[in-house]
Amino acid sequence: MMSQVPLPEPDFTPLDDVFVRKHLGVPDIDVADWTLTVEGLVERPLRLDMAAVLALGAERLPAFHECFGSPFAPDVPTRAVAQVEWAGVPLAVLLDRAVPRAAARHVWFEGADTGSFHGEDGLTYVKDLPLEVARRDVFLAHRMNGEPLRAEHGHPLRAVVPRMFGTNSVKWLTRIVLADRRADNMFTTRFYNRVLPGDTEPTPVREVDVSSKLFAPRDGARVAAGGVELSGRAWSTTEIVAVGISVDGGPWESAAVDAPGAGPTWQRFALIRELAPGAHRIRCRATDRVGRVQPLEGARNAVHEVTVEAAGGAAG
């Protein structure tokens, strides 16, 4: 009987280190007054308070979580990425109770955050997804790394869409609306759209790009000359099959890449490389299962690079 190789344990980013993004500020929500509605083209509209949400149970979802970056600079890398363990319930549980009507084609997610953005007042943050995608992928989370959601991360409930950029994971969720059309909102049809390579028309910013990031050594670090482990994380919409590491403009050397985890998690990669005393430029480049490769430059997922100083003595 063949023995199975155990899946790698996911490594989670400490909550204090998880990036925070907000377009309209952090709303002050009293959970005692908060409710979530499921409405629009449904047979049975729902209104749930937090007790009703918690009564649905709590599944766990380990997943990487990546910020797309500024909608005004869509080709500028931000490299804001984390991995967390969410706890909550799949959206499909609520959709099954609400029973979408035959005309429903899209799901709108509306947050409690309101305010001004880009010179326009009275805005509410709204994102949308096709119904079949939302039913399959969206997770409604009320816990993060074992703790109730913090205010800045969407307390008391947020949407999470694995393998999609964080802009789609609406925080401070208050309304889920089923509709026969896309939502007409600044954050759906005006911003967060891009033209993908090979396309001529813009599409909504949804699925993540193939990406990788060096975690160690950090940019600007001082290390001891000799064998140094160069490591980081890589992620995509599908499995990462290769990561190359280049030192000082040299050839791409194959790093060891962990097998995919059980969920939509990132994959660790590492290469032990001899570094002579002096400054070194280190780059990483990932390839995924469908053949997508990180571009060298000019894109938001261009290869990541760090510069380190190797010293003859102990690292400082």
Q: 6 lies in a domain?
A: no
Q: Are residues 37 and 186 in the same domain?
A: yes
Q: Are residues 135 and 49 in the same domain?
A: yes
Q: How many angstroms separate the CA atoms of 309 and 25, rounded?
A: 40
Q: Are residues 89 and 192 in the same domain?
A: yes
Q: Are residues 267 and 294 in the same domain?
A: yes
Total number of domains in the chain: 2
Residue 9: what pLDDT? 61
Q: Which of 187, 204, 221 is the last residue of a domain?
A: 204
Q: Are residues 43 and 62 in the same domain?
A: yes
Which residues have C-beta within 8 Å of that of residue 6, sequence separation ≥ 6?
none
- Which residues of the chain carry a pLDDT beneath 50? 1-5, 7, 315-316
Q: 9 lies in a domain?
A: no
Q: 94 lies in a domain?
A: yes
State the burial class of residue 206 (Cβ atoms within 10 Å of its Cβ: 0-12, 13-18, 19+): buried
Domain extent at residue 26: 15-204
Q: 1 lies in a domain?
A: no
- pLDDT tens-digit readout, 38-88: 999 999 999 999 999 999 999 999 999 999 998 888 888 889 999 999 999
Residue 237: what pLDDT? 97
- DSSP letters spanning the chain: -PPPPPPPPPP---GGGS----SS------TTT--EEEEESBSS-EEE-HHHHHTT--EEEEEEEE----TT-TTS----EEEEEEEEEEHHHHHHHH-B-TT--EEEEEEEEEEEETTEEEEEEEEEEEHHHHHHH-EEEEEETTEEPPGGGTTT-EEE-TTB-GGGS-SSEEEEEEESS----IIIIISSEEPPTT-SS-EES-BPPPEEEEEESPTT-EEESEEEEEEEEEE-SS-EEEEEEEETT-PPEEPEEPPP-SSS--EEEEEEEEE-SEEEEEEEEEEETT--B--SSSSTTPPEEEEEEEESSS--
Q: Are residues 195 and 238 in the same domain?
A: no
Q: Are residues 65 and 150 in the same domain?
A: yes
Q: Are residues 222 and 196 in the same domain?
A: no
Residue 283: what pLDDT? 98
Q: 10 lies in a domain?
A: no
Q: Are residues 114 and 185 in the same domain?
A: yes
Residue 120: what pLDDT? 87
- pLDDT tens-digit readout, 132-162: 999 999 999 999 999 999 999 999 999 999 9
Q: Are residues 192 and 250 in the same domain?
A: no
Q: Are residues 75 and 138 in the same domain?
A: yes
Q: Which of 151, 184, 204 is the last residue of a domain?
A: 204
Q: Are residues 247 and 127 in the same domain?
A: no
Q: Which of 171, 204, 237 is the last residue of a domain?
A: 204
- Reading the block at residue 208, the tokens are 């993540």
